[in-house]
Amino acid sequence: MQSMIIQAPAKVNYRLDVVGRRPNGYHDLRMIMQRVNLCDEVTLRLVAQPGIRVTCGQHGVPEGEGNIAWKAARALLELSGSDQGVEIEIVKQIPVAAGLGGGSSDCAAVLLGLNELLRLGLSLERLMEIGVTLGADVPFFVFGQTALAEGIGELLTPLAKVPTAWVVLVNPNLPVSTAWVYQNLQLTQRDQLAKLPNSFENVAELCDILGNDLESVTIPAFPVIDEIKRSLVGLGASGALMSGSGPTVFGLFEDEATARKAAADLQQHHNWFVAVAETC
């Protein structure tokens, strides 16, 4: 096999607690992370000519060494000792700098795909170890399950039971820097973290634990995020929350018809990115 096409899904955070700040500037987090089937398409090809080439054509996505997918390919080529080259073509469906983990998911797709193409036989645990050196969300996408994520995001525990939900993703076309959000976050003293269940019977129970500490930075700077949350709930979402560092907001719906009707209403009245997805 010399080529492979991989679907790289987006993610949302049902919960994002910032527990503390490390001396190196990273933050300790507690998150519940969920994949959704809005996907980038990543094509990998092994070629005779040495080197790594990334093509995307999407504004804001670097095509050379600055791309996290390029770094993933370099890591596995170095491990393999192969003198082959790799061509990576990324077709973006996930908005850039949106809090949906698109770049990290593309990176994980390269790790998983090249592990097969180069016949490295690396375990998921080893790929996750490589992934966390490239980006904090990469291990989650390698892990491939709904999870409680702790540490900087690399300590992953699968959740026993999580219901499928329909998700409306809304991005007001405002790229938000993750670094800027964390730099402006004011940590507040907690007596203790609220206990989170490890299983959920229905969407209503998921909505009971929705929360994102990073909204305290983004909503004052971008009030449209709060407007989107209120609009989604008004259109039938059981709950709505900003994903990751934003600015994308997701609404959770119990049925497809209500989700699609809400999305159509938002698309009709606003010039926002709107997509309907299902959890996966």
Active-site residue, selected from the candidate residues 11, 71, 92, 229: 11
- Asked about 161 being catalytic, the answer comes back as no
Nearest to 92 by CA among 120, 128, 54: 54
Give the amino acid at 177: S
Set 17, 40, 137, 213: catalytic member: 137
Cα(231)–Cα(250) distance, rounded to whole angstroms? 11
- What is the residue type of 272? W
User: What does the angle CA 259 – CA 260 – CA 266 come to, to the nearest 5 degrees?
Assistant: 90
Q: For residue 9, is the peptide bond before it cis, meaning its omega torsion is within 30 degrees of 0?
A: no
SS (H, E, C) 118-169: CCCCCCHHHHHHHHHCCCCCHHHHHHCCCEEEEECCCEEEECCECCCCEEEE
Contacts of 198 (CB under 8 A, 6+ apart): 148, 157, 159, 160
Active-site annotation holds for 137: yes
- Among candidates 170, 158, 162, which has minimal Cα distance to 100? 170
Find the DSSP H helices in the chain.
Answer: 68-80, 102-117, 124-132, 138-143, 178-183, 203-208, 215-221, 224-234, 256-269
Cα separation, 220 vs 279, in Å, equals 29
* Residue 15 to residue 5: CA distance in whole angstroms: 31
Closest CA to 68 of 109, 129, 23, 123: 109
The token pair at 61 is: 């996505």
**Catalytic residue annotation:** 11, 137
